[in-house]
Chain A
Amino acid sequence: MAKKGGPFERKSKVGAEIPAASMADIAFLLLIFFMVSTTFRREQDRHLTFPKAEATQKQDEKRKNILHIWIEPDGQVYINDRLVPMEMVAEVVLPLYRASDRRLLIALRGDRDVPYRYVNSVTEQLREANAVRVFFHTDLESRLTRERR
């Protein structure tokens, strides 16, 4: 220890603490940033169970170019939260397809128990509207659970 009054006793004028006063501002700024940049799903929950598939791939497409088409187990089709009769699907999709500069990607969200004829009718309608880029929404399935099937 240095003697009292010795050269090592001299106090530094620079604080030895990290300035924590602005920490709250930083944290709130981050909080507000994440709150503002979060987008919420627009559709209501439909409580459908999607089929599982091992080859499930993530789809890289801008959000605004993806159109969700829901097919309920009784064959009812919903587009943008509106019930659309089966024979009207092409008419609804066509203007959206044109507006998207022909980049529209269709997300077909069918319940796992939908009879296939409804899915087929929807894809036929999509072909009429020229929206041929489609993906079937599935949940990822691991190989282990599949082998047990």
Chain B
Amino acid sequence: MAILQRKSRVSDEIPTASMADIAFLLLIFFLTTTVFEEEKGLPIVLPEAAAEQVEVSQKNIIHFLVQEDGAIVIRRGESTAEQVVAFSQIEGIMRQEIGSNPEIIAAVKTAPNAPYRHMINVLDELQSANAQRISLQLWER
């Protein structure tokens, strides 16, 4: 009997002291490896299809013509005078235009074969200049 009563020195419990460390390690691993998909971009509201055609005075329009190679040409109103500009100049020009005429509409006309990114560059500059009235069109020559 005395022999059977003897207690074993080895603990019969599972060591749980490190369990918390393991769990937190897993937690931190998943927290750091998770990538969140953000919805981000340049917002614009398209004109409705049913909207009636509104006549806009030509002096309230500034045309940005985007060519296939990414060159930007500005044409103001009805005048045929063309001004070739760099992307970085557009923001300043647009701020000036808005300052002198808050009603101004920026019409971005993109050539059918021009890469999308050139149009985005112009739109980016216009939105950086806080332009509210933007029209996107296909440039049909």
Q: Given A31-B27, A114-B116, does the pair A55, B128 have CB atoms closer than 8 Å?
A: yes
Among B23, B37, B116, B127, the residue within 8 A (CB) of A41 is B37
Q: Are B40 and A58 in contact (CB under 8 A)?
A: yes
Q: Are B113 and A31 in contact (CB under 8 A)?
A: no
Q: Which residues of A contact B37 (CB under 8 A)?
A: 41
A20 at the interface (CB under 8 A from B): yes
Give min CB distance, A123 to chain B, whole Å: 6
Interface size counted on chain A using CB atoms at 8 A:
55
Give min CB distance, A83 to chain B, whole Å: 19
Q: Are A132 and B88 in contact (CB under 8 A)?
A: no
Contact mask A23-52 → B, CB, 8 Å, 1/0?
A: 110111011001100100100000000011
A107 at the interface (CB under 8 A from B): yes
A101 at the interface (CB under 8 A from B): no
Q: Are B41 and A59 in contact (CB under 8 A)?
A: yes
Tally the A-B contacts, defined by beta carbons under 8 Å.
151
A92 at the interface (CB under 8 A from B): no
Among B16, B27, B115, the residue within 8 A (CB) of A115 is B115
Q: Are A54 and B24 in contact (CB under 8 A)?
A: no
A139 and B42 CA atoms in complex are apart in Å by 10
Q: Are B124 and A55 in contact (CB under 8 A)?
A: yes
A–B pairs, 22, beta carbons within 8 Å: A24-B20, A27-B23, A31-B27, A35-B30, A53-B120, A53-B124, A58-B38, A58-B40, A66-B39, A71-B116, A112-B115, A112-B120, A117-B113, A119-B119, A123-B46, A133-B45, A135-B41, A136-B41, A136-B120, A136-B123, A140-B40, A149-B87
Which residues does B use to contact A, with CB under 8 Å? 16-17, 19-20, 22-24, 26-27, 30-31, 34, 37-49, 66, 87-88, 110-121, 123-124, 127-128, 136-138
Q: Are A138 and B113 in contact (CB under 8 A)?
A: no
Tell me the residues in window 99-149 of chain A with beta carbons closer than 8 Å to chain B beta carbons: 107-108, 110-117, 119-120, 123, 126-128, 130, 132-141, 146-147, 149
Give min CB distance, A27 to chain B, whole Å: 3
Which residues does A use to contact B, with CB under 8 Å? 20-21, 23-24, 26-28, 30-31, 34-35, 38, 41, 51-59, 61, 66, 71, 107-108, 110-117, 119-120, 123, 126-128, 130, 132-141, 146-147, 149
Q: Are B124 and A138 in contact (CB under 8 A)?
A: yes
Q: Given A57-B40, A59-B40, A116-B110, does the pair A20, B20 have CB atoms closer than 8 Å?
A: yes
Q: With contacts A112-B117, A141-B124 known, what are 11 further pairs, Cβ within 8 A? A: A31-B30, A53-B121, A116-B111, A120-B112, A120-B137, A126-B46, A127-B49, A128-B49, A132-B48, A138-B124, A146-B88
